[in-house]
Structure 1
């Protein structure tokens, strides 16, 4: 029996102007998400995968590959009581346009693909001395070989990386 997908509420911080208040909200949200992931997310993923595997319906090869991949991503390959492998590291912030952020929020999924020149960084939005001009410089350096346009960086999403998250580092 599949228990259903847990949903972690999206936090809208667009009305917060004070960097200290934003920092407190993001720290609280990060702690709540880490706790929620440990408590219910991985159990739900395992439940879903076990539900698919234990059905008597033959699984076609394409779906079988999805299940195998999902087992790996969901940290499910053996023992089922292993803790969710969330790294004890900083959040990653995907700085992008408001439209892109809204699309990710509606999909509740970030696929790592940006058509708008997103910048991913560990620098939080409440950091002192970080301005739009600084972000634009980062954006130009990161996207210099692929885009001549300057895209909006008016919004962000915060990601909590886990062990399966592949990071390509570009020092700016």
Structure 2
């Protein structure tokens, strides 16, 4: 192989590597990112230490929906929670039963024990531009009921799509 052919081949490899790095940087910055689940507030849906990939662009083109598992950015920590109430709705929890605008809502993502541990809350109207979120492990979750308050739309930085680590736990989170 001639010297110029070797040089061209190396140059092509370097270009391909730079393009791959730029694409990865673009995807991580604007489209997808990872977050580590800290604590047991989303148990059993998500476990402590699991790493999830979240979609950063979805809420630029759409709005959070009830049931979405979202990443919430606060000044010192990110939280992983489930959207329960939407802007303008009235939320009430009575004896573990969730009521949205006065109608009981079936929480299919919870088992009976978790639902019983939810306690009482409200009724309280969610301000426009804000959301009501809770963890699936209601007994210990820091959420809109106790500490986080209503979550403003700009604090929601993405929707959890699937678990990527540990590898034997690969699963969709929606």
Which interval holds the TM-score relative to the shorter structure? under 0.3
| More strand per residue | 2
Give the TM-score, by structure 2 length.
0.23
Asked which structure has the greater CA Rg, the reply is: 2
Give the TM-score, by structure 1 length.
0.23
| More helix per residue | 1
